[in-house]
Amino acid sequence: MKKLNVFLTRPIPDEGIKMLKRERDIRLEIKKDLPMPRKELLKAVKGRDVVWTILTDRVDAEFFDAAGENLKLVVNYAIGFDNIDLEEARKRGLIVANSPAAEIAESVAEHAIAMMFALSRRLVESDAFTRAGKYHGWEPNLLLGTDIIGKTLGIIGAGQIGGMIARRLRDGFGLKILYNDVKRNPKFEREHKAQYRSKLQLLKESDFVTLHVPLLDSTRHLISTKELKAMKKTAFLINTARGPVVDELALTKALEKNEIAGAGLDVFECEPLIDCNPNDTHALRRMKNILLTPHTASASIEARQAMSRESAKNILAFLKGKKIPHRIV
């Protein structure tokens, strides 16, 4: 019997890899070099039965053409799949799967909450101030921040991650929970004592706004000039979803003018660039009222190993002719 030819485009945490290596009917190759240029990727996928991708791999018609007729399955090491042309995959009769896991949602929720605390209590500024030798004793007005307890949290995207954040901050810190989604979610309202608001009304009332929506045509620049102007001057915006959900230029201007108190970004509109401007003026990096992390909201050992396992389950199910657990197409 011919072995299933599986190609992994980047090294990932090893639990899923070990699952595949235990199968004698799978031949797994892992690309070791980082990063992999596009031309090299297209050469590497030729003749593969399965390609195990990561979210920075662009999987489109060119990719499918390069892989050739042997390709049957693409498994994305991510919850999101905006890097994959699903319509093109459908046309070609290909299977696409992702790798969701509860641990990922937990990790992203914790990261978003950590950003809220770091921004409201000015932790990064305080660390830099202290390391720079500027601390000469306690002062009443030194680096004043704001408390989280009792504030209002606005969640845009009432899914699993939004629910985890709502529960932790409502139960632990007494926050009032508002939410917005494409439609009302009675279950979310019951479980989290959350109140539905239109997007603009949520922005007007919230002290913290956290985004948890997929990247779709309808969510691109979901937060732009109009939305930022609706927010309180004392409010913070958190984005751990996808970069283009926020209009980065509009956000930069709002932060420069102190129209909002600050922002926490784990994702960027033109990543890996931090500024979409091709000349990269470093505007965001110079600001003190912004917290930047390098797309690491799910970067816990538990979450990344869970993604590895869930990805591998898709491939093993395909090998054995079973229902693929996380099939998208």
- Over residues 187-229, the pLDDT tens digits come to 999 999 999 999 999 999 999 999 999 999 999 999 999 999 9
**Quick one: 127 and 261 in the same domain?**
yes
Residue at 229 is within a domain: yes
Q: What is the 3-state secondary structure (H, E, C) of the chain?
A: CCCEEEEECCCCCCHHHHHHHCCCCEEEEECCCCCCCHHHHHHHCCCCCEEEEECCCCECHHHHHHHCCCCCEEEEECCCCCCECHHHHHHCCCEEECCCCHHHHHHHHHHHHHHHHHHHCCHHHHHHHHHCCCCCCCCCCCCCCCCCCCCEEEEECCCHHHHHHHHHHHHHHCCEEEEECCCCCHHHHHHHCCEECCHHHHHHHCCEEEECCCCCCCCCCCECHHHHHHCCCCCEEEECCCHHHECHHHHHHHHHCCCCCEEEECCCCCCCCCCCCCCCCCHHHHCCCEEECCCCCCCCHHHHHHHHHHHHHHHHHHHCCCCCCCECC
Q: What is the pLDDT of residue 2?
A: 85
**Quick one: 39 and 113 in the same domain?**
no
**Quick one: 69 and 121 in the same domain?**
no
Q: Model-level pTM greater than 0.75? A: yes
Residue at 240 is within a domain: yes
Active site residues: 242, 271, 295
Residue at 325 is within a domain: no
**Quick one: 16 and 114 in the same domain?**
no
Q: What is the pLDDT of residue 280?
A: 63
**Quick one: 252 and 157 in the same domain?**
yes
**Quick one: 116 and 231 in the same domain?**
yes
Q: What is the pLDDT of residue 283?
A: 84
Give me the number of domains the chain comprises.
Answer: 2
Residue at 329 is within a domain: no
Residue at 77 is within a domain: yes
**Quick one: 8 and 146 in the same domain?**
no
Domain membership of residue 116 as a residue range: 103-292
Q: What is the pLDDT of residue 17?
A: 97
**Quick one: 43 and 139 in the same domain?**
no
Residue at 308 is within a domain: yes
Residue at 136 is within a domain: yes
Q: Which residues of the chain have pLDDT under 70?
A: 1, 33, 278-281
Q: What is the pLDDT of residue 1?
A: 58
**Quick one: 196 and 281 in the same domain?**
yes
Residue at 179 is within a domain: yes
**Quick one: 89 and 132 in the same domain?**
no
| CATH label of the domain that carries residue 61 | 3.40.50.720
